[in-house]
Amino acid sequence: MTRFRSLSDMVRRTTPFAPPTAVLEDGAALLETPRILVIAGSDSGGGAGIQADIKTVTMLGGHAMTAITAITAQNTIGVQQVATVPTDLVVAQIDSIVNDLGVDAVKIGMIGSAEIADAVADYLPDDRSVPIVFDPVMVATSGGVLADAGTIAAFRRLMDIATVVTPNLPELQRLSPGDDPVASALRLVSDHRCAVLIKGGHDSGEALVDALIEEDNMTSWQDRRIATGDTHGTGCTLASAIALFLARGLPLPEAVDRARRFVRLALRDAPGLGQGHGPMGQGAVRLDVGGEMRLNQVTLGLDDYEASFAFYESLGLMPIVANPPDYARFEAPGGATLSIHRAADDAGPGGATVYFECDDLDGTVERLARAGLRFEHGPTDQPWMWREARLRDPHGNLICLYRAGENRRYPPWRIG
């Protein structure tokens, strides 16, 4: 069995574990494929577990590698049967991956048994030089039990090596009982020296609040709850996305921020399968999260609103915003959007504007300005819930760098 060695002796692709993908001085990540080791159970219905992890890592541009800890007979209604994989086979899967492909980050989900938890804790690096995201799975979305008391007790060893632990509220209560979730999380941070992401999805109310508790910092997010029953695999998807972004070298709060955005879009894109808690739509989250400068939106001028609307609808584009007589937005297969807009006086030739989405808009604009590009205005919050910065190319075409997140394809006023 290969054991972890000092990172100082390691070179990417020739050693078992590697530090996160290098980041250039200007903040741009190198274009290497992050290698994510997922240690988790299999969900035969494809909504959660290894299946959700693979879809998430793949859609975010990484390479998912798996060590399966348990096989479940599971669908959107419930868990019918669970078989734990022998511990030596779990370790053999990890060993096979480590000895050939290498690992940039690890995501741990359903662990299967206390014995497997101990074996995984023995194998993985214990100095947090490689990001490890631990989702302490105890119960499936449908209510099926996926971890017994002994296994949950063994979670402490995995928390000891984790970069971040991502419990929902019931899991946090089990790991650190108490009336105050933040106080409970702080105890875990103190006891295990890991960060804790408190997931508020099980709380009541229209607002959904998540909080990242670190030793010296707390970051919180509040969003409107998405009305959907297709929530199977949200925890798996979030944890895998965090691991992917940590492997790209992002700070933990930024990794969580982008992972949350991916989860929210996957919830909105759910295909509506099954009779119970259906799977999410990870495969439909395209051009929404990822590398900087995503060309995902074009705005064209119009003179005749009805004629232009009918023209693009006849091409097969799906209307998602209609604001006659001045504006409409359409979604194309693959996730790009096209808008038609009554051209303003400052529009480019033909009234066209090309949009490039940047997750780190302010940082990207600052970097480009230092390189000599001149902006008509810097990052500015707009009434339509986008943050935009504008400049022109040498011909005078209007270029917009922006960040919209889910408000590009799913604004509050989306139709249909």
Point out the residues that are catalytic: 199, 231, 233-236
Rounded to an integer, what distance in angstroms lies between the CA atom of residue 373 and that of residue 389?
12
Q: For strands 294-302 and 353-357, give the pairing.
A: antiparallel
Helix axes 149-161, 114-123, angle to 10 degrees: 10
Helix, strand or coil for residue 77?
A: coil
Tell me the angle at which helices 252-268 and 49-59 cross, rounded to the nearest 10 degrees. 110
Residue reference for tokens 């060590």: 67
> Cα–Cα distances in Å, from 269 out to 105, 287, 406?
27, 13, 11
Task: Give the tokens for residue 288.
Answer: 């929404």
3-state secondary structure of 69: strand
The two tokens of residue 23 are 């980041």
Q: Specify burial of residue 215 (Cβ count, 10 A radius: 0-12, 13-18, 19+).
A: exposed
Q: How far apart are CA 160 and CA 194, in angstroms?
A: 7
Q: How many residues are listed for the chain in this entry?
A: 416
210, 199 Cβ separation under 8 angstroms: yes
Q: Whose structure tokens read 């053999």?
A: 92
